[in-house]
Chain A
Amino acid sequence: MLRKNTINEFVKILAKPRSYIGIAALTLLVSIILFAMKADGKMYISFVTASFEQTLSFNGHILNGNLIAFIVLQMLIVHIPLLVALVTGDLLSGEAAMGTLRMLLTKPITRTQVVLSKMIAAATYTFILVLWMGFLAVFVGRWVFGTGDLIVLNSDGLVILPDADILWRYGLAFFVAYLALLTIATLSICLSAFADNSIGPIVSTMAIIILFTIIGSLDVSVFDHIKPYLFTTHMASWRSFFNDPVPWSAIWESIWILIVHNILFIGLAIFQFNRKDITS
């Protein structure tokens, strides 16, 4: 029954116009970034490298597909949670608001199976979004701008990564970014289990992300103990793959924290949904 209802969830997601907003928005945003970089990328790069030009001499093709992919990932990873929550936050509560939850739950399927099938569908949808972003950023970026060494500016200074040493980093970076977005998906479904309207869980998900991000960025000692455990702290962990050497222990810690959050949100969603009276 889990498999059959998961197929149903895919059918519903595919038929809903809002499911394509994310794909369309990503395509548009990446296209805008690519266009802007093509038109004025050299000035943008010289602005970034200006402070280093007294001590370093930059030769070669700096504005390449690898750098474009990094810029795209950096810019969009902040906005994609909204695109994910727009679809996943609606999965349970949208059915309650529409009245179809009543119909669904009078069928021979357990509530746990209903939640899990929606989780699987949400995870797949999120994966497709990330895959599409990866395709646009890395492959279209490389096709339009060509390849070359990647110069990344991080807190320790400039990191130069040779072209041959980059693709695996993107692969893993997108995996960690996916895990972070999956946390957003499970959080929004969890909130969706508590609500009977579509918009509440979507707005609440974004509010939680904003709140946690603000807490994470506040330099106040009172929050120091909780910051490492906020999932938002680990949403930018994908960047660590562009350090040299790669800080594996920090990355593993982020992966575990994100996985624990996912399990927690799924568990809470199942618990709440199983005890919920369907009065809508």
Chain B
Amino acid sequence: MNDDPILSVQHLKKTFGNFTAVKDVSFTVNKGDIFGFLGPNGAGKSTTMRCMLSLIKPDAGQIQIFGKDLFKERVSIMSGIGSIVEKPDFYKYLSALQNLKIFARISGADVSEKQLYEQLEFVGLAGREKDKVAGFSHGMKQRLGIAQTLLHQPELIVLDEPTTGLDPQGIIEVRELILRLKNEQQKTVILSSHQLAEIELVANRMVIINRGEGVVEGDVAQLMNQQETALHLELSENASGAAALITANFPEVKLKISSPKTLEVNIEKYYIPSLNAKLVAEGFEIMALEPKRKLEDFFIQMTQSNA
């Protein structure tokens, strides 16, 4: 990873009639990133993705890819991008190989038949080349979609919710494929999802969008491991006594008594063991001590408020 921006989206806006799908989204993807594009359903992820791939024209904002303006140099930019938007759809009446040939022909690169077979093998579809896509499962189509994105050896790969509709095994396979793209082929990958856990597992940087606006952008590890943690503390009784004890011993801690038996405590992570020890030493019975990462909490709230 480095700070060499490969894609930059600035103040993107798109409305459909009276509905504003994207209000103001800005983010930057650096070369070598696996960049997570996270947001609840309806947050504007797909619209932003479609704008990035010139399927939709934004009302305002700028998109620069490989240092070029997307809407001025679209064709040359697209020869460096491989993408799947929403779900990979193919010509059902053609075989996997014929489909790849169709897309290879207009990929802007000379792709040999040998390379087509290699890509099919890379995504685990060796032996199914001649089968019609109509008979493929969703997971197989997803893998064929990834093969299609790699045909012309693009520098940037854009995958819009690539694990949607897959079974657990399929999700693991796609996740492993994405990591292999980065590790074996040094690709930059933009990956959208509405699941924080999925992004956390593969991405190194991310942006969270909600209601068409960018909310958080940064390094995944840093965002997920912020020092201050929201702690949910459940006692057998006397939450107010515990609160008094905590305030006396940890004056910098902010807390809230949420019920006679529960407390919500904002505390730096490394104080948690000593807080626990102090409460036990003073005779408080701890029924539950549940640390919640602020980002996760925040994302869950965001998702619930959108539901």
Contact = CB atoms under 8 A, between A and B. Distances in A.
Contacts of B94: 11-12, 15
Contacts of B87: 99
B55 A106 contact: yes
Contacts, number: 85
A103 B76 contact: no
Interface string A77-94: 000000000000000000
Interface stretch (A1-9, A45-53, A64-72, A212-220): A1-9
B113 interface: no
B56 A278 contact: yes
Contacts of B86: 99, 102
Name the prevailing secondary structure of the B interface residues: loop
A32 interface: no
A259 interface: no
Interface residues of A, number: 26
A196 to B, nearest CB: 13
A225 interface: no
Interface in B43-72: 50, 53-57
B93 A103 contact: no
B81 A103 contact: no
Contact of A279 (B56, B92, B148): B56
Interface string A191-217: 000000000000000000000000000
A15 B103 contact: no
A152 interface: no
B27 interface: no
A8 B107 CA distance: 12
B55 A11 contact: no
A108 B108 contact: yes
Interface size class, chain B: 35 or more
A275 B57 CA distance: 8
Contacts of B84: 103
Contact of A107 (B57, B85, B90, B108): B108
B153 interface: no
* Interface-centre pick from B55, B102, B108, B148 (highest chain A CB count, 10 A): B102
A7 B91 contact: no
B105 A108 contact: no
A108 B89 contact: no
Interface in A127-160: none
A105 interface: yes
A107 B55 contact: no
Contacts of B214: none
B32 interface: no
Contact of B107 (A98, A107, A275): A107
A103 B88 contact: yes
B98 interface: yes
Contacts of B55: 102, 105-106, 277-279
Contacts of B91: 12, 15, 98, 100
A259 B89 CA distance: 36
20 contacts: A1-B106, A1-B108, A5-B105, A12-B102, A17-B93, A99-B89, A103-B84, A103-B85, A103-B90, A103-B148, A105-B53, A105-B55, A106-B78, A106-B83, A107-B108, A108-B106, A275-B57, A278-B56, A279-B50, A279-B55
Interface of B: 16, 50, 53-57, 74-79, 81, 83-94, 98, 101-103, 105-108, 148
Given A1-B106, A8-B106, 15 more contacts: A4-B105, A4-B106, A8-B102, A11-B98, A11-B101, A15-B93, A102-B55, A104-B106, A106-B81, A108-B78, A108-B79, A277-B16, A277-B55, A277-B57, A279-B55
